[in-house]
Amino acid sequence: MDSLRVDPEKGLNTSTGSIAVRCGASTGTISLTDDGAFCFTPNPVRQRGPFGWLTGWLFRPVGHQVIPADQLLGARLESPRAFTVWFTSEYTTRTGHVTKRLYRAVHTPRFEVSDPEAATKLVTQIRRTVSWWGRDKPPHVAAIINPKAGKGVAAVMFRNQLLPLLRDVAGLRVSEHLTKAPEHATLLVRELTLNARPSLSSSSPPSGGGRSGGIEGGGAAGPAEAAGVADGADLIMFVGGDGTLHEGLQGLFQRADWNVARDTPLVAVPCGSGNGVAASCGLWDITTAAVAVCRGRITPIDVATVLQPPNSRHYCLLSVVYGAMANLDIGTNHLRWLGELRFHLGGLWEILRGRCYSCRVFVLPPDAASAVASAPSATATARAGAAAAVGGSEASDYGGAPSPSVAALEMNNAAATATAGRPSVGSVAAEARRGGGGEGVQEPLLKHEGSACGAIRSAGTGGTGATNNDRNDFDGTEGTLLSQYPYGPPLPLLSQLPCLPARLPDNPSALPAGWKQLTDSFAIFGAYNTQYLALGARANPGGLMSDGAWEVWQLEAHGRRAGAGLRLRCLKVLLGVEDGSFARTPDIMHVVKARAMLFQQRDSATWTVLDGEAVPEAPLYLEVHPRLCRVLVSPVFQEEPL
């Protein structure tokens, strides 16, 4: 650290960055070291007179204090000439086999200076060094607040606990967007102006220094800032439960620029009943979430597309649950005022009921998915056959020179995406081949099928445009085509199916090779991306949120009612779900990994639930998009092993 040379008349020493301050009965100097640490050095105190010892005891001086950069949170101006420095104190709690690491926000005594400008400069310097992600200007956080989430106090907790830390201490720009009705979060995110930055760093912890964030920093302006968009959001923060984040995720992918917008980091602040995404990211409480926002450490996360006929496309990143797990969630909505306790009561009721649930499930394991994805899709094969029937030369989705009509379509797409401010199909594909745009290879955009789909139908029906391709090749029931669903990320695995059947087949022989069928009767069923389904429910122990596959857990049953043995197994799951210890006991539940899943509900006494939101009783066609989005995680985030 540089030696401190203080000019008490001027207050601020510009050559060393030190500032003369008074703190209670003490005087001294404050400076920031080269590695970003905060340092207060008191001036020597002389005891005068026979009662000097008593004065020193009554007015005890503040001692030397050094706060490392990785503990600093920011500084707050208490008045034009006074400020406090805020930092974090880490502590741990233990739940069974899981150790949770949390943060408290604490602050120094009040420092006073003679020069208001010097105080403002020092506060700004501290904030920029530790909480602005390495940027010269404070990032803009768009807060989507659901006042009805959990016990209905999310808005109060935001204004009393979260906002003071982010705005007054860290100096971030925070805009508030209050939801007023169901699905309003979808609309808010869809209409947000974003400063999307496609290149994001890895989720590895910072290696020291004041810049501890994982979001791309530096003094240069981002793409939106360079274009003159000064108020765009750099981070979308969801203050509520998993349902609020789920709604916002729909809005993110409904945007015309979704392929760029998806690089905007998301963060879940635990103010709802479940808070499974927040728990899986190590954000156990509001203060820990605030620290995560200031540190800016990110990690990629898998997102699943879920299609439902006739043309619904959902996105989820937490779970798909059915049966008992769905009932203890949706079935206890009237007990939201109890918070997380309602899930435990719902679980006990399910055990007492002893109900089993019927469904039809097929999964595509990751090893089989790799082989399937490398084969030409059924849609591409049909397009090629239709083009041959009409004398064309359409290429498939997986290579080959496109015909003039496809080339024109891609040129139109490129022009439209350029107008909308997002890269064209070709530019994204080229970026994917280079491995840019974040961790791993990004998926290319799914082409609009448009007239090509019409040509397939006409070719298959003698030019009448009838419904041969709308018939289910599995069992003769009607189905839908991918072209009938909204535009979004590509679906290379589901595109292998001739169509999406309105009723799933009775066995996997009617499906392409690699698909496996699970048993039809369950007491408990859940497909999970993250480890936690709620703050106190580690339903997927050992799961990884960015490994490109979901874990499907099932507690198999036979018949409609559970016997004593099955009820005992359910009780063991309930007692061990808080820390995931139920998975350590063999033969209680079985788990398989899946890159894609076909699911059909066959029991009206339950719900099918995506990320805490119930969906209609229609078949689900799920495909996982590896590492499609980015989420903020705790500075000490680590996914616990099984």
Residue 639 lies in a domain: no
CATH number of the domain bearing residue 89: 2.30.29
Q: For 223-228, what is the mean pLDDT?
A: 40
Q: What integer best gives the mean pLDDT of the chain?
A: 77
Per-residue confidence band for 338, with pLDDT thresholds at 50, 70 and 90: confident
Residue 84 lies in a domain: yes
The answer to whether residue 389 scores a pLDDT higher than 90 is: no
Distance from C-alpha of 237 to C-alpha of 265, rounded to nearest angstrom: 9
Q: For 620-633, what is the mean pLDDT?
A: 96
Amino acid 371: pLDDT = 77
Amino acid 154: pLDDT = 93
Distance from C-alpha of 190 to C-alpha of 144, rounded to nearest angstrom: 12
Distance from C-alpha of 166 to C-alpha of 156, rounded to nearest angstrom: 15
Q: Are residues 528 and 619 in the same domain?
A: yes
Residue 490 lies in a domain: no
Q: Are residues 562 and 612 in the same domain?
A: yes
CATH number of the domain bearing residue 187: 3.40.50.10330
**Per-residue pLDDT tens digits for 51-62:** 555 555 555 567
Q: Are residues 184 and 279 in the same domain?
A: yes
Per-residue confidence band for 288, with pLDDT thresholds at 50, 70 and 90: very high
Distance from C-alpha of 254 to C-alpha of 183, rounded to nearest angstrom: 13
The answer to whether residue 102 scores a pLDDT higher than 90 is: yes
Distance from C-alpha of 422 to C-alpha of 258, rounded to nearest angstrom: 8
Q: For 37-65, what is the mean pLDDT?
A: 67
Distance from C-alpha of 24 to C-alpha of 272, rounded to nearest angstrom: 42
Amino acid 592: pLDDT = 95
Distance from C-alpha of 96 to C-alpha of 576, rounded to nearest angstrom: 9
Higher-confidence residue of 62 and 561: namely 62
Strands 266-270 and 235-240: parallel
Strand, helix or coil for residue 7: coil
Q: List the Cα angle 632/486/455 in 5-degree steps.
A: 145
Q: Are residues 387 and 355 in the same domain?
A: no
**Per-residue pLDDT tens digits for 290-299:** 999 999 999 9
Number of C-beta neighbours around residue 535 at 10 A: 24
> Which of 22-36, 446-460, 557-571, 624-638 is least confident?
446-460
Domain boundary among the residues 440, 469, 485 is at 485
Task: Please provide residue 133's backbone torsions phi and psi, each rounded to the nearest 5 degrees.
Answer: 60, 30
Distance from C-alpha of 569 to C-alpha of 428, rounded to nearest angstrom: 49
Q: For 96-118, what is the mean pLDDT?
A: 92
DSSP labels for 412-480?
HHHHHHHHHTS--HHHHHHHHHHT-SSSSPPPPPPPP-HHHHHHHHHHHTTTS--SGGGB-TTTS-BEE
Strands 38-42 and 613-615: unpaired
Structure tokens at 583: 């998975």
Q: List the Cα angle 496/254/259 in 5-degree steps.
A: 70
Amino acid 229: pLDDT = 40
Highest average pLDDT, of 406-420, 438-452, 605-619, comes from 605-619
Q: Are residues 549 and 609 in the same domain?
A: yes
Residue 311 lies in a domain: no
Contact 177, 144 (CB under 8 A): yes
Q: Are residues 276 and 333 in the same domain?
A: no
For residue 632, list its beta bridge partners.
298
Q: Are residues 292 and 361 in the same domain?
A: no
Domain around 47: 12-115
Count how many domains the chain has.
Answer: 4
Higher-confidence residue of 8 and 398: namely 8
Residue 309 lies in a domain: no
Residue 527 lies in a domain: yes
Amino acid 536: pLDDT = 86
Q: Are residues 354 and 409 in the same domain?
A: no
> Left, alpha or beta for 215 (phi > 0: left; psi -120 to 50: alpha)?
beta
Domain boundary among the residues 115, 144, 178 is at 115
Q: Which residues are CB-neighbours of 630 under 8 A, at least 6 positions away?
A: 200, 262, 263, 264, 265, 266, 298, 299, 300, 301, 438
Domain boundary among the residues 81, 115, 149 is at 115
Strand, helix or coil for residue 293: helix
Higher-confidence residue of 451 and 142: namely 142
Distance from C-alpha of 330 to C-alpha of 352, rounded to nearest angstrom: 18
Q: State in Å, rounded, how far the first CA of the chain is from the last one.
A: 44
Give 533-588 as a 3 state SS string. CECCECCCCCCCCCCCCEEEEEEECCCCECCHHHHHHHHHHHHHCCCCHHHHCCCC
DSSP labels for 176-230?
EEE--STTHHHHHHHH--B---S----SPPP-SSS----S--SSS--HHHHTT--
Residue 499 lies in a domain: no
Q: For 21-35, what is the mean pLDDT?
A: 86
Amino acid 50: pLDDT = 61
Amino acid 572: pLDDT = 87
Q: Are residues 289 and 145 in the same domain?
A: yes
How many percent of the chain have pLDDT more than 70? 71
Give 116-180 as a 3 state SS string. HHHHHHHHHHHHHHHHCCCCCCCCEEEEEECCCCCCCCHHHHHHHHHHHHHHHHCCCEEEEEECC
**Per-residue pLDDT tens digits for 163-222:** 999 999 999 999 999 999 999 999 999 999 999 765 443 444 333 333 334 665 433 334
Tracing tokens 């020291």 back to the chain, one arrives at: 208
Q: Are residues 137 and 285 in the same domain?
A: yes
Distance from C-alpha of 46 to C-alpha of 447, rounded to nearest angstrom: 78
Q: Are residues 260 and 147 in the same domain?
A: yes
Amino acid 248: pLDDT = 96
Residue 432 lies in a domain: yes
Give 483-535 as a 3 state SS string. HHCCCCCCCCCHHHCCCEECCCCCCHHHCCCCCEECCCEEEEEEEECCCCCEC
Q: Are residues 235 and 272 in the same domain?
A: yes
Kindly state the helix (H) or strand (E) to which residue 268 belongs, with its residue range.
Answer: strand 266-270
Structure tokens at 158: 């935001």
> Which of 231-245, 392-406, 529-543, 547-561 is least confident?
392-406
The answer to whether residue 1 scores a pLDDT higher than 70 is: no
